[in-house]
Chain A
Protein backbone atom coordinates (compact mmCIF):
# COMPACT_ATOMS: atom_id res chain seq x y z
CA UNK A 1 0.00 0.00 0.00
CA UNK A 2 1.46 3.42 -0.94
CA UNK A 3 1.58 6.35 1.45
CA UNK A 4 -1.43 8.18 -0.01
CA UNK A 5 -3.55 5.03 0.30
CA UNK A 6 -2.39 4.59 3.91
CA UNK A 7 -3.30 8.19 4.69
CA UNK A 8 -6.74 7.89 3.08
CA UNK A 9 -7.40 4.70 5.06
CA UNK A 10 -6.30 6.49 8.26
CA UNK A 11 -8.84 9.21 7.52
CA UNK A 12 -11.49 6.52 7.18
CA UNK A 13 -10.52 5.26 10.65
CA UNK A 14 -8.56 2.15 9.72
CA UNK A 15 -6.47 0.98 12.69
CA UNK A 16 -4.29 -1.14 10.41
CA UNK A 17 -3.40 1.90 8.27
CA UNK A 18 -2.60 3.93 11.39
CA UNK A 19 -0.30 1.14 12.56
CA UNK A 20 1.46 1.20 9.18
CA UNK A 21 1.90 4.96 9.44
CA UNK A 22 3.33 4.64 12.96
CA UNK A 23 5.72 1.90 11.79
CA UNK A 24 6.90 4.12 8.93
CA UNK A 25 7.56 7.26 10.99
CA UNK A 26 7.91 6.41 14.70
CA UNK A 27 11.66 5.77 14.60
CA UNK A 28 12.37 8.96 12.63
CA UNK A 29 10.25 11.18 14.89
CA UNK A 30 11.50 9.53 18.08
CA UNK A 31 15.16 10.01 17.06
CA UNK A 32 14.50 13.62 16.13
CA UNK A 33 12.84 14.22 19.51
CA UNK A 34 15.59 12.35 21.37
CA UNK A 35 18.37 14.27 19.67
CA UNK A 36 16.49 17.49 20.30
CA UNK A 37 15.67 17.09 23.99
CA UNK A 38 18.33 14.62 25.11
CA UNK A 39 16.18 12.55 27.45
CA UNK A 40 14.63 9.26 26.41
CA UNK A 41 11.55 9.72 28.62
CA UNK A 42 10.96 13.26 27.34
CA UNK A 43 11.45 12.08 23.77
CA UNK A 44 8.85 9.32 24.22
CA UNK A 45 6.32 11.83 25.57
CA UNK A 46 7.05 14.32 22.79
CA UNK A 47 6.77 11.57 20.14
CA UNK A 48 3.37 10.55 21.47
CA UNK A 49 2.23 14.18 21.47
CA UNK A 50 3.44 14.61 17.87
CA UNK A 51 1.43 11.56 16.77
CA UNK A 52 -1.62 12.83 18.68
CA UNK A 53 -1.25 16.13 16.80
CA UNK A 54 -0.80 14.26 13.53
CA UNK A 55 -4.02 12.34 14.15
CA UNK A 56 -5.88 15.59 14.72
CA UNK A 57 -4.27 17.43 11.80
CA UNK A 58 -4.55 14.63 9.23
CA UNK A 59 -7.93 15.81 7.87
CA UNK A 60 -6.26 19.14 7.01
CA UNK A 61 -3.39 17.50 5.06
CA UNK A 62 -3.23 18.58 1.43
CA UNK A 63 -2.59 15.44 -0.64
CA UNK A 64 -0.70 17.47 -3.24
CA UNK A 65 2.08 18.18 -0.73
CA UNK A 66 5.07 16.16 0.45
CA UNK A 67 3.72 14.28 3.49
CA UNK A 68 7.12 13.64 5.11
CA UNK A 69 8.09 17.33 4.98
CA UNK A 70 4.62 18.33 6.26
CA UNK A 71 4.83 15.85 9.14
CA UNK A 72 8.40 16.84 10.03
CA UNK A 73 7.32 20.52 10.06
CA UNK A 74 4.54 19.60 12.49
CA UNK A 75 7.03 17.66 14.66
CA UNK A 76 9.63 20.43 14.53
CA UNK A 77 7.07 23.07 15.52
CA UNK A 78 5.83 20.97 18.42
CA UNK A 79 9.37 20.30 19.71
CA UNK A 80 10.33 23.98 19.54
CA UNK A 81 7.05 25.11 21.16
CA UNK A 82 7.47 22.64 24.01
CA UNK A 83 11.12 23.58 24.40
CA UNK A 84 10.19 27.26 24.75
CA UNK A 85 7.35 26.41 27.13
CA UNK A 86 9.28 24.11 29.45
CA UNK A 87 12.89 25.24 28.96
CA UNK A 88 14.37 21.77 28.79
CA UNK A 89 17.83 23.20 28.18
CA UNK A 90 18.23 23.30 31.95
CA UNK A 91 17.72 19.55 32.22
CA UNK A 92 20.53 17.05 31.83
CA UNK A 93 20.92 15.05 28.65
CA UNK A 94 21.13 11.27 28.90
CA UNK A 95 24.58 9.79 29.27
CA UNK A 96 25.83 9.14 25.75
CA UNK A 97 27.53 5.79 26.36
CA UNK A 98 24.97 4.30 28.71
CA UNK A 99 21.76 5.41 27.10
CA UNK A 100 22.42 6.42 23.49
CA UNK A 101 24.97 3.88 22.33
CA UNK A 102 23.42 1.12 24.43
CA UNK A 103 20.10 1.53 22.58
CA UNK A 104 21.58 2.15 19.15
CA UNK A 105 19.65 0.42 16.39
CA UNK A 106 21.43 -2.45 14.69
CA UNK A 107 23.04 -1.80 11.31
CA UNK A 108 23.49 1.93 11.95
CA UNK A 109 26.42 3.92 10.66
CA UNK A 110 28.16 4.11 14.01
CA UNK A 111 31.03 1.86 12.89
CA UNK A 112 33.11 4.68 11.50
CA UNK A 113 36.49 6.24 12.02
CA UNK A 114 34.96 9.02 14.04
CA UNK A 115 35.72 8.78 17.70
CA UNK A 116 33.00 8.18 20.25
CA UNK A 117 34.47 11.13 22.12
CA UNK A 118 33.50 13.55 19.31
CA UNK A 119 30.03 12.02 19.10
CA UNK A 120 29.56 12.38 22.86
CA UNK A 121 30.70 16.02 22.69
CA UNK A 122 28.29 16.73 19.83
CA UNK A 123 25.50 15.08 21.85
CA UNK A 124 26.26 17.29 24.86
CA UNK A 125 26.93 20.32 22.68
CA UNK A 126 23.43 20.23 21.19
CA UNK A 127 22.16 21.45 24.56
CA UNK A 128 24.12 24.67 24.19
CA UNK A 129 22.43 25.60 20.90
CA UNK A 130 19.20 27.56 20.61
CA UNK A 131 16.11 25.61 19.54
CA UNK A 132 16.30 26.88 15.94
CA UNK A 133 20.00 26.08 15.59
CA UNK A 134 19.55 22.67 17.22
CA UNK A 135 16.82 21.72 14.79
CA UNK A 136 18.86 22.57 11.69
CA UNK A 137 21.87 20.58 12.93
CA UNK A 138 19.66 17.59 13.74
CA UNK A 139 17.88 17.63 10.39
CA UNK A 140 20.90 18.38 8.22
CA UNK A 141 23.86 16.67 9.91
CA UNK A 142 22.35 14.00 12.15
CA UNK A 143 19.45 12.94 9.94
CA UNK A 144 21.12 13.78 6.62
CA UNK A 145 18.33 15.83 5.03
CA UNK A 146 19.17 17.83 1.91
CA UNK A 147 19.08 21.62 1.94
CA UNK A 148 15.98 21.50 -0.29
CA UNK A 149 14.17 19.20 2.19
CA UNK A 150 15.25 21.49 5.02
CA UNK A 151 13.86 24.53 3.22
CA UNK A 152 10.54 22.72 2.85
CA UNK A 153 10.44 21.59 6.49
CA UNK A 154 11.51 24.96 7.90
CA UNK A 155 9.45 26.89 5.30
CA UNK A 156 12.41 29.17 4.67
CA UNK A 157 14.25 30.21 1.48
CA UNK A 158 17.18 27.97 0.48
CA UNK A 159 19.77 30.73 1.03
CA UNK A 160 18.51 31.39 4.56
CA UNK A 161 18.61 27.67 5.35
CA UNK A 162 22.20 27.34 4.10
CA UNK A 163 23.39 30.31 6.13
CA UNK A 164 21.53 29.05 9.24
CA UNK A 165 23.11 25.60 8.91
CA UNK A 166 26.52 27.22 8.54
CA UNK A 167 26.01 29.37 11.66
CA UNK A 168 24.75 26.38 13.66
CA UNK A 169 27.78 24.31 12.65
CA UNK A 170 30.16 27.10 13.64
CA UNK A 171 28.43 27.39 17.03
CA UNK A 172 28.65 23.63 17.57
CA UNK A 173 32.32 23.55 16.52
CA UNK A 174 33.06 26.32 19.01
CA UNK A 175 31.19 24.43 21.74
CA UNK A 176 33.37 21.39 20.94
CA UNK A 177 36.45 23.59 21.22
CA UNK A 178 35.25 24.91 24.61
CA UNK A 179 34.54 21.42 25.96
CA UNK A 180 38.00 20.27 24.94
CA UNK A 181 39.48 23.36 26.58
CA UNK A 182 37.58 22.55 29.79
CA UNK A 183 38.69 18.91 29.69
CA UNK A 184 42.36 19.73 29.00
Chain B
Protein backbone atom coordinates (compact mmCIF):
# COMPACT_ATOMS: atom_id res chain seq x y z
CA UNK B 1 0.00 0.00 0.00
CA UNK B 2 1.31 3.46 -0.90
CA UNK B 3 1.21 6.52 1.39
CA UNK B 4 -1.32 8.20 -1.00
CA UNK B 5 -3.66 5.21 -0.79
CA UNK B 6 -3.22 5.18 2.98
CA UNK B 7 -4.31 8.85 3.14
CA UNK B 8 -7.42 8.05 1.08
CA UNK B 9 -8.41 5.34 3.56
CA UNK B 10 -7.56 7.24 6.75
CA UNK B 11 -11.08 8.23 7.80
CA UNK B 12 -12.52 4.85 6.89
CA UNK B 13 -9.82 3.21 9.02
CA UNK B 14 -10.41 5.43 12.04
CA UNK B 15 -14.18 4.99 11.75
CA UNK B 16 -13.82 1.21 11.54
CA UNK B 17 -15.23 0.93 8.03
CA UNK B 18 -12.40 -1.00 6.39
CA UNK B 19 -12.79 -4.66 5.49
CA UNK B 20 -10.52 -7.05 7.42
CA UNK B 21 -8.07 -7.60 4.55
CA UNK B 22 -7.72 -3.89 3.78
CA UNK B 23 -7.37 -3.10 7.46
CA UNK B 24 -4.52 -5.60 7.80
CA UNK B 25 -2.80 -4.11 4.77
CA UNK B 26 -3.30 -0.61 6.20
CA UNK B 27 -1.81 -1.59 9.57
CA UNK B 28 1.13 -3.30 7.91
CA UNK B 29 1.86 -0.03 6.09
CA UNK B 30 1.57 1.93 9.35
CA UNK B 31 4.06 -0.35 11.07
CA UNK B 32 6.58 0.33 8.31
CA UNK B 33 5.95 4.07 7.72
CA UNK B 34 6.52 6.45 10.68
CA UNK B 35 5.17 9.51 8.75
CA UNK B 36 1.85 7.79 8.08
CA UNK B 37 1.72 6.51 11.66
CA UNK B 38 2.20 10.07 12.92
CA UNK B 39 -0.55 11.34 10.60
CA UNK B 40 -2.96 8.67 11.87
CA UNK B 41 -2.17 9.69 15.47
CA UNK B 42 -2.72 13.37 14.69
CA UNK B 43 -5.99 12.71 12.91
CA UNK B 44 -7.23 10.53 15.77
CA UNK B 45 -6.39 13.32 18.20
CA UNK B 46 -8.03 15.98 15.98
CA UNK B 47 -11.22 13.96 15.68
CA UNK B 48 -11.37 13.31 19.42
CA UNK B 49 -10.78 17.00 20.19
CA UNK B 50 -13.48 18.04 17.72
CA UNK B 51 -15.97 15.48 19.04
CA UNK B 52 -15.59 16.77 22.60
CA UNK B 53 -15.81 20.41 21.57
CA UNK B 54 -17.88 22.48 24.00
CA UNK B 55 -21.19 23.85 22.80
CA UNK B 56 -21.60 27.57 23.50
CA UNK B 57 -24.79 29.09 24.89
CA UNK B 58 -26.15 32.01 22.84
CA UNK B 59 -26.72 35.20 24.81
CA UNK B 60 -30.24 36.25 25.94
CA UNK B 61 -29.75 39.39 23.79
CA UNK B 62 -29.36 37.21 20.70
CA UNK B 63 -32.54 35.29 21.56
CA UNK B 64 -34.35 38.62 21.88
CA UNK B 65 -33.06 39.70 18.43
CA UNK B 66 -34.17 36.40 16.90
CA UNK B 67 -37.65 36.54 18.48
CA UNK B 68 -38.02 40.03 16.98
CA UNK B 69 -37.27 38.89 13.39
CA UNK B 70 -40.94 38.79 12.20
CA UNK B 71 -41.58 42.27 13.67
CA UNK B 72 -38.38 43.59 12.05
CA UNK B 73 -39.54 42.21 8.67
CA UNK B 74 -42.97 43.76 9.11
CA UNK B 75 -41.40 47.13 9.98
CA UNK B 76 -39.22 46.97 6.84
CA UNK B 77 -42.28 46.14 4.75
CA UNK B 78 -44.17 49.07 6.27
CA UNK B 79 -41.28 51.34 5.31
CA UNK B 80 -40.94 50.08 1.74
CA UNK B 81 -44.62 49.58 0.84
CA UNK B 82 -45.54 53.31 0.48
CA UNK B 83 -42.71 53.76 -2.06
CA UNK B 84 -43.95 50.81 -4.12
CA UNK B 85 -47.52 51.98 -3.87
CA UNK B 86 -46.52 55.47 -5.06
CA UNK B 87 -44.59 54.01 -7.98
CA UNK B 88 -47.48 51.68 -8.89
CA UNK B 89 -50.06 54.52 -9.14
CA UNK B 90 -52.23 54.26 -12.30
CA UNK B 91 -51.42 57.91 -13.03
CA UNK B 92 -47.82 56.96 -13.74
CA UNK B 93 -48.71 54.25 -16.28
CA UNK B 94 -48.55 56.56 -19.37
CA UNK B 95 -45.12 57.74 -18.19
CA UNK B 96 -43.90 54.13 -17.95
CA UNK B 97 -45.39 53.37 -21.39
CA UNK B 98 -43.66 56.41 -22.94
CA UNK B 99 -40.37 55.51 -21.24
CA UNK B 100 -40.62 51.92 -22.46
CA UNK B 101 -41.28 53.07 -26.05
CA UNK B 102 -38.40 55.55 -25.85
CA UNK B 103 -36.01 52.86 -24.52
CA UNK B 104 -37.17 50.42 -27.23
CA UNK B 105 -36.50 52.99 -30.00
CA UNK B 106 -33.17 53.98 -28.45
CA UNK B 107 -32.10 50.34 -28.16
CA UNK B 108 -33.06 49.73 -31.81
CA UNK B 109 -31.15 52.79 -32.98
CA UNK B 110 -28.08 52.05 -30.90
CA UNK B 111 -27.77 48.28 -31.16
CA UNK B 112 -29.75 46.93 -34.13
CA UNK B 113 -27.67 46.47 -37.38
CA UNK B 114 -30.34 48.39 -39.33
CA UNK B 115 -30.12 51.10 -36.74
CA UNK B 116 -26.72 51.96 -38.21
CA UNK B 117 -28.45 53.52 -41.28
CA UNK B 118 -30.70 55.52 -39.00
CA UNK B 119 -27.72 56.70 -36.97
CA UNK B 120 -26.00 57.74 -40.24
CA UNK B 121 -29.11 59.68 -41.34
CA UNK B 122 -29.29 61.35 -37.94
CA UNK B 123 -25.59 62.27 -38.21
CA UNK B 124 -26.07 63.70 -41.71
CA UNK B 125 -29.21 65.55 -40.61
CA UNK B 126 -27.40 67.02 -37.62
CA UNK B 127 -24.42 67.95 -39.78
CA UNK B 128 -26.69 69.63 -42.37
CA UNK B 129 -28.63 71.36 -39.63
CA UNK B 130 -25.42 72.66 -38.14
CA UNK B 131 -24.24 73.87 -41.57
CA UNK B 132 -27.54 75.63 -42.19
CA UNK B 133 -27.41 77.32 -38.81
CA UNK B 134 -23.83 78.48 -39.53
CA UNK B 135 -24.90 79.84 -42.94
CA UNK B 136 -27.90 81.61 -41.42
CA UNK B 137 -25.67 83.07 -38.75
CA UNK B 138 -23.21 84.37 -41.42
CA UNK B 139 -26.12 85.75 -43.51
CA UNK B 140 -27.57 87.40 -40.42
CA UNK B 141 -24.13 88.99 -39.81
CA UNK B 142 -23.94 90.46 -43.32
CA UNK B 143 -27.62 91.64 -43.22
CA UNK B 144 -26.87 93.29 -39.88
CA UNK B 145 -23.91 95.09 -41.50
CA UNK B 146 -26.00 96.19 -44.49
CA UNK B 147 -28.85 97.40 -42.28
CA UNK B 148 -26.29 99.32 -40.19
CA UNK B 149 -24.83 101.01 -43.28
CA UNK B 150 -28.32 101.80 -44.61
CA UNK B 151 -29.32 103.26 -41.25
CA UNK B 152 -26.20 105.44 -41.16
CA UNK B 153 -26.86 106.63 -44.74
CA UNK B 154 -30.46 107.48 -43.86
CA UNK B 155 -29.33 109.43 -40.80
CA UNK B 156 -26.76 111.26 -42.95
CA UNK B 157 -29.44 112.05 -45.55
CA UNK B 158 -31.78 113.41 -42.88
CA UNK B 159 -28.97 115.42 -41.40
CA UNK B 160 -28.20 116.84 -44.89
CA UNK B 161 -31.89 117.67 -45.46
CA UNK B 162 -32.11 119.33 -42.04
CA UNK B 163 -29.08 121.45 -42.80
CA UNK B 164 -30.38 122.60 -46.20
CA UNK B 165 -33.74 123.60 -44.59
CA UNK B 166 -31.87 125.53 -41.93
CA UNK B 167 -29.88 127.37 -44.70
CA UNK B 168 -33.16 128.27 -46.54
CA UNK B 169 -34.64 129.64 -43.26
CA UNK B 170 -31.54 131.77 -42.72
CA UNK B 171 -31.88 133.30 -46.23
> Which residues of A line the B interface, CB within 8 A?
13, 15, 18-19, 22-23, 26-27, 30-31, 34-35, 40, 44, 47-48, 51-52, 55-56, 100-101, 103-106, 108-110, 112-115, 118-119, 121-123, 125, 137, 141-142, 144, 162-163, 165-166, 169-170, 172-174, 176-177
The answer to whether B46 and A176 touch across the interface, beta carbons within 8 angstroms, is: yes
**Which residues on B sit within 8 Å (CB–CB) of A177?**
38, 42
Cα separation A19 to B67 with both chains bound (whole Å): 6
The answer to whether B45 and A100 touch across the interface, beta carbons within 8 angstroms, is: no
**Which residues on A sit within 8 Å (CB–CB) of B46?**
118, 122, 125, 141, 169, 172-173, 176
A166-B10, A173-B46 are contacts. A18–B55 as well, Cβ < 8 Å? no
Question: For residues 112 through 156 of chain B, which have their beta carbon under 8 Å from a beta carbon of chain A?
Answer: none
CB nearest to A141 among chain B residues: B50
The answer to whether B43 and A119 touch across the interface, beta carbons within 8 angstroms, is: no
The answer to whether A109 and B67 touch across the interface, beta carbons within 8 angstroms, is: no
Cα separation A119 to B49 with both chains bound (whole Å): 5
CB nearest to B62 among chain A residues: A44
Max chain B Cβ within 10 angstroms of own Cβ: one of A51, A104, A113, A177: A51
User: When each residue 1-31 of chain B gets 1 if its CB lies under 8 Å from chain A and 0 otherwise, what string results?
Assistant: 0000001101110000000000000000000
The answer to whether A118 and B45 touch across the interface, beta carbons within 8 angstroms, is: yes
Does B39 make an interface contact (CB < 8 A)?
yes
> Which residues of B line the A interface, CB within 8 A?
7-8, 10-12, 38-39, 42-43, 45-59, 61-63, 65-67, 69-70, 72-73
Cα separation A141 to B52 with both chains bound (whole Å): 9
**Which residues on B sit within 8 Å (CB–CB) of A170?**
7, 10, 39, 43
Give 15 pairs: A residue, B residue, CB < 8 Å, sorted on A. A15-B70, A18-B67, A22-B66, A22-B69, A35-B53, A44-B62, A48-B69, A104-B57, A109-B51, A110-B52, A118-B46, A142-B51, A142-B53, A166-B8, A177-B38
CB nearest to A104 among chain B residues: B54
CB nearest to B42 among chain A residues: A173
Q: Which of B7, B45, B58 is close to A44, meaning CB atoms less than 8 Å apart? A: B58
Cα separation A23 to B57 with both chains bound (whole Å): 12
The answer to whether A103 and B48 touch across the interface, beta carbons within 8 angstroms, is: no
Max chain A Cβ within 10 angstroms of own Cβ: one of B58, B67, B72: B58
Q: Which of A26, A51, A122 is close to B53, meaning CB atoms less than 8 Å apart? A: A122
